[in-house]
Amino acid sequence: MADLTTPALPRRRRAALNPRVAIGGAGLLLLVGCAVLAPLLAPHDPLEQDLFSTLLPPSWLAGGDPAFPLGTDGLGRDVLSRLIYSTRVTVVVALVAATLAGLIGSILGLVAGYAGRAADQALSRLIDVWMAFPPVLLSIVLAAVLGAGLGSVIAAIVVIDWTRFARVVRAETMVQARMDYVTVARSLGLAGPAILMREILPNLLPLILTLLAVEMGIAVIVEAILSFVGLSVAGDTATWGGMIAEGRQVIRQAWWVLAFPMGCLVLTIFAFTLFGDGLRAAIDPVRRR
């Protein structure tokens, strides 16, 4: 039967006290807070242009303006405001794309790992073919075919990254299916779907949660790449990838236009990875031994 030796409350307490979960979770809460409260936090409209204030440095440097704490870009738009509003696209893509990829991949992995040789071989061959394509190139091609837009970005990420979940969940399901608790469940007359959902899946949740957190970071990277090449959301929507593309053109005159969105991107990915790794270390009984 599913592992019931660790009470839920102590397990949650362990997760909350884990420093990696605390640090990563704090970063993710900050990210979500910025996305939700962007109109209140941003000092300016992210699309507002001031051609008399182009490429102003951050306020603490010579020539900076306190009205623009992190400076302005080539069109006089406030860098800080654009960074804050960019979190909206980041959060939506990370949550929706990673969740859909995880749901599809985990279901296929569970079925292939438990159903038997035919289903396992069919999924394995499909994953091999799918992973033969370079993921970044495939995402660019898919986004170009589907057209620019948030929905296209999410669809491209899901189509590419469901294999990451399917491969890992399939392998772990095969291991769990040979455990004694599954044999006992079969002897009690439980059907295959009931065993998968009630017995095996709870033991895979720590692994799936870790993969989900890592996948959110990957989704953020893919969205930034697509924004960089102009295949993400509309051009007037603030995104970190779009800001990096703009900053690359003026790197010699205004390093801050490139540096700040890159810093936000790196810190966000670090927070997702730290949170996922810490969460699994806290709630996975195998890693706690």
What is the mean pLDDT of the segment spanning 270-280?
85
| DSSP assigned state of 197 | I
In single-letter form, the type of residue at position 3 comes to D
Evaluate whether 172 touches 204 at the Cβ level (below 8 Å). Answer: yes
Decide if 2 is inside a domain.
no
Is 163 exposed, middle or buried (CB count within 10 Å of its CB: 0-12, 13-18, 19+)?
A: buried
Decide if 65 is inside a domain.
yes
The pair phi, psi for residue 68, each rounded to 5°, is: -125, 85
Q: What is the mean pLDDT of the chain?
A: 85
User: In sequence order, what are the beta bridge partners of 78?
Assistant: 72
> Taking the alpha carbons of 33, 24, 273, 283 in that order, is the dihedral positive or negative?
negative
Looking at residue 15, its pLDDT comes to 58
Decide if 6 is inside a domain.
no
Q: Number of structural domains, the chain?
A: 1
Angle at 194 between CA 188 and CA 195, to 5 degrees: 65
pTM to 2 decimal places: 0.84
Decide if 7 is inside a domain.
no
CATH of the domain at 96: 1.10.3720.10
The two structure tokens encoding residue 97:
């794309």
Is 73 exposed, middle or buried (CB count within 10 Å of its CB: 0-12, 13-18, 19+)?
A: buried
Greater model confidence, 288 or 273: 273
Q: Tens digit of pLDDT for each residue in 85-110? A: 999 999 999 999 999 999 999 999 99
Looking at residue 95, its pLDDT comes to 94
285 pLDDT band, cuts 50/70/90, is low
User: In sequence order, what are the beta bridge partners of 72?
Assistant: 78
How far apart CA 85 and CA 87 sit, in angstroms, is 5
Decide if 128 is inside a domain.
yes
Decide if 3 is inside a domain.
no
Please state the length of the chain.
Answer: 289
What is the mean pLDDT of the segment spanning 124-143?
80
Decide if 5 is inside a domain.
no
Looking at residue 5, its pLDDT comes to 43
Decide if 9 is inside a domain.
no
The two structure tokens encoding residue 156:
């491209």
Domain extent, residue 136, equals: 14-288
Q: Tens digit of pLDDT for each residue in 24-40? A: 999 999 999 999 999 99
Greater model confidence, 88 or 124: 88
Q: Tens digit of pLDDT for each residue in 172-221? A: 998 888 888 887 877 877 777 888 888 888 888 888 988 898 899 999 99
CA distances in angstroms from 141 to 135, 186, 217, 235, listed in the order given: 10, 46, 21, 18
Q: Tens digit of pLDDT for each residue in 59-78? A: 999 989 999 999 999 999 99
Looking at residue 256, its pLDDT comes to 94
DSSP code string of 88-123: HHHHHHHHHHHHHHHHHHHHHHHHHHHH-HHHHHHH
